[in-house]
Amino acid sequence: MAHRSNARLLAPIALVGSLLAVAIITGSSLGGDDSATKPTDAEQRVGSGNAKKTRTTVVKSGDTPSAIAEREGISMERLLELNPRIADPRTLHAGDRLKLGP
């Protein structure tokens, strides 16, 4: 009887682990918890107690600057003015926090 390699036994375990990791990552980026789109305490506190709160949004997988502007009800020009680094859409990544204004 031929000697079996440990890789034959570990390959299915590695495959299941990889699939589970992908499912967890994509499941968390598909939504469900909208708490990520709420401003943090630091973003809300700008100077004195009378300061305006800064609205933000979190980029979701597949978002484009124009889609974000439309979804959030602001002009594309305003979104780019507040977030100049996203003029090149390739710099936009899921999980990035963008300013939407006061």
In degrees, to the nearest 5, what angle opens at C-alpha 99 toward C-alphas 86 and 69?
Answer: 65
**Greater pLDDT, 102 or 3:** 102
CA distances from 14 to 3, 27, 28 (A): 21, 20, 21
Domain chopping of the chain, boundaries:
33-101
pTM recorded for the entire structure: 0.48
Residue 22 has pLDDT above 90, yes or no: no
Class of domain 33-101: alpha beta
Which pLDDT score is estimated for 32?
47
From residue 13, how far is each of 10, 20, 22, 42, 92 by CA, in Å? 5, 11, 14, 43, 34
Q: Is the pLDDT of residue 19 over 50?
A: yes
Dihedral sign for Cα atoms in the order 80, 81, 82, 85: positive
